[in-house]
Amino acid sequence: MDFTIPRHVEAIAHRVRQFVEEEAIPLESELLRSGADLSVEMVQELRRKARAAKLWAPTMPKAWGGMGLNIQEIAPVFEAAGRSLLGPLAIHCAAPDEGNMHLLHKFADEVQTERFLVPLAKGETFSAFSMTEPPPGAGSDPRMILTRAVRDGGDWVINGHKWLTSNGLLADFFIIMAVTDPDAHPYQGTTQFLAPRETPGIHILRDVPVMGGVDFGGHVEIRYEDVRLPHSAILGSEGQGFMLAQSRLGPARLTHCMRWTGIAQRALEIATDYASGREAFGGALTGHQAVQWMLADSEMELKIGRLLIHEAAWRLAQGEQARVETSIAKVQVAETVSRVLDRCVQICGGRGISRDLPLSTWYEKSRAFRIYDGASEVHRMVVARDVIKRYGAAEQG
């Protein structure tokens, strides 16, 4: 495996970091001071500047104004963008749109591409992936999906209850996961549908309040009541829902890891700078072993996380599913981010828990990272099964 970052990618990552420093972080600071929420107008203005700087849609084809980078090349670029929560939104590599673009780029037909993907890639629309359901429906176990799509002539009629559908407040279309054959194995009995927002029967019930405050686009609860869609609304083929979901979620887990690594790295820099200038007990905080070890552990864990991201990305680029590798990376990076942010808040003390620094906001928002796109326990289960499969039989033999 060659983890060398090509020079042109290094140059893009440098430019993205500079853009985030000059455009995203000042707005981030302004929002922290005022307590205001990020508006669509603010995002569109950032995006206008990103397009002007030719820093737009890293994963999308150059023909659509994107950068045309592959899964390996995006790692340093996404990390640079992720140094602010506004960075990925600005350059159009934020969840869930980034994952949805990847999914559509792989599986949308020509008509779906023109209607849904091209406007999304250009930043003219927003999207949402609607799979998670409130109990007793699907959460960490997507095989428990209760939403049903029933064939009616040439159409499908969808009924179900979803929640935590990110971007649902703004989405111009929804990718709905529904059971189409309840008698089949769950892996063969689900299908994904493309549903424009204006489709009758899509009822947004509320924006679910979540830890860390308001997120751009929200995390909505939805009722689908007799939502009628043509057969042409199916993404991929009937019964391919789980296969498509895995194709989307594998790379999406890594892109979350890339973005959050950027946040954690910046947090470490903020805490180190603070500790260097803060004197207590006879010297700078950086002179005390307790603080040095927190800084050292954070640096080491972040480096481990980057190497896991690069390995998983390399395997995906070779055409592998890399389910175990992406699971390992997701657990390691998600838990590393939590530990690094916790240490950085601790080092900065009163300033750390204040809103004068972004640390406390990141600390709250990062907690969900250990749950979405597969809870840590689920990914540990995937890894454990692989360990048992490889070593258990050999042990018995």
What CATH number matches the domain at 242-396, 1.20.140.10, 3.40.30.10, 1.10.4190.10, 3.40.1350.10? 1.20.140.10
Assign domain 127-239 to its CATH superfamily: Butyryl-CoA Dehydrogenase, subunit A, domain 2 (2.40.110.10)
Residue pLDDT tens, the chain, 397 long: 788 899 999 999 999 999 999 999 999 999 999 999 999 999 999 999 999 999 999 999 999 999 999 999 999 999 999 999 999 999 999 999 999 999 999 999 999 999 999 999 999 999 999 999 999 999 888 889 999 999 999 999 999 999 999 999 999 999 999 999 999 988 999 999 999 999 999 999 999 999 999 999 999 999 999 999 999 999 999 999 999 999 998 899 999 999 999 999 999 999 999 999 999 999 999 999 999 999 999 999 999 999 999 999 999 999 999 999 999 999 999 999 999 999 999 999 999 999 999 999 999 999 999 999 999 999 999 999 999 999 996 555 4
The sign of the CA dihedral 350, 356, 362, 367 is positive
User: Do 242-396 and 7-94 fall under one CATH topology?
Assistant: no
Assigned CATH for 7-94: 1.10.540.10
- Residues 197-256 have pLDDT tens digits of 999 999 999 999 999 999 999 999 999 999 999 999 999 999 999 999 999 988 999 999
Give pTM, 2 decimals: 0.96
Q: What amino acid occupies position 47?
A: R
Q: Name residues whose C-beta falls within 8 Å of residue 203's C-beta, 6 or more positions apart in sequence.
A: 222, 223, 224, 225
Strands, E assignment, the chain: 127-130, 148-152, 155-166, 173-179, 190-196, 202-207, 219-230, 234-235, 279-280, 283-284
- Residues 280-300 have pLDDT tens digits of 999 999 999 999 999 999 999
Which single residue is written with the structure tokens 């980034």?
98
Domain boundaries, the chain: 7-94, 127-239, 242-396
Q: Name residues whose C-beta falls within 8 Å of residue 305's C-beta, 6 or more positions apart in sequence.
A: 257, 261, 329, 332, 333, 336
pLDDT score of 142: 84
